[in-house]
Amino acid sequence: VSSSTRALLELIRDVPDFPKPGIVFKDITPLLASPAAFQSALDAMAEPLRHQSITAVAAIESRGFIFGAGIAARLGCGLVLVRKPGKLPWKRLRHDYALEYGNDALEIHADAVGPDDRVAVVDDVLATGGTAAAAARLLGDCGADVTAFSFLIELGFLEGRGRLATGSIHSAIMY
Ligand code: AMP
């Protein structure tokens, strides 16, 4: 583990039994509050996406937005929002999926990306992979190529990457 990765690890707080018994929640608010750690997290998440001709970063609500914006700015590409139901105003596509703690659905604007796009999906945590897989499905339904995934944290023991069918998968921190 590199010293920069260790610095990030020290700023991720484990909160047992949140939001449900049995879930160890990865609280990233101390990391976000540290200027050096936040910058280094964005650098670590953006770096593997360079030289992949990414045209758009698709960020998953809510914590994915925090990282997606900074990564899109670093890569010089646009930001696409994958949102919880009922938030997007324009024509939408929807996909329902199972979460580590419950069920949920995601939506995207039908014209957010298209066949000319090479998209990187960004979120804070890869757990069971249901959320990222749902986002990838929506992007595919728009006609885009899902080229890569970038996560701050991967909970490797949940084997979520096995649910991601296409694209390279990158995580700055592996548990
Ligand atoms: P999953 O669909 O199971 O891969 O869950 C990923 C989504 O749920 C991400 O958007 C995370 O923000 C959130 N999530 C799942 N498990 C955790 C966890 N242990 N700590 C923090 N966030 C989590």
Please report where in the chains the tokens 């990030």 appear, as a residue.
Answer: 8
Task: Say what the pLDDT of residue 146 is.
Answer: 98
Q: How far is the CA of 161 from the centre of ligand 1 (A)?
A: 13
Q: How far is the CA of 100 from the centre of ligand 1 (A)?
A: 7
Instruction: Pick the atom of ligand 1 nearest to 25's CA.
Output: 20
* Residue-wise pLDDT tens digits, 60-78: 999 999 999 999 999 999 9
Is the entire prediction scored with pTM above 0.95? yes
* Residue-wise pLDDT tens digits, 89-145: 999 999 998 776 678 999 999 999 999 999 999 999 999 999 999 999 999 999 999
Pocket (CB within 6 angstroms of ligand 1): 23-26, 60, 63, 99-100, 123-132, 160
Q: How far is the CA of 105 from the centre of ligand 1 (A)?
A: 14
Task: Say what the pLDDT of residue 1 is.
Answer: 84
Mean pLDDT of 158-175: 96
Cα dihedral sign, 104-108-113-115: positive
Quote the DSSP letter at residue 89. -
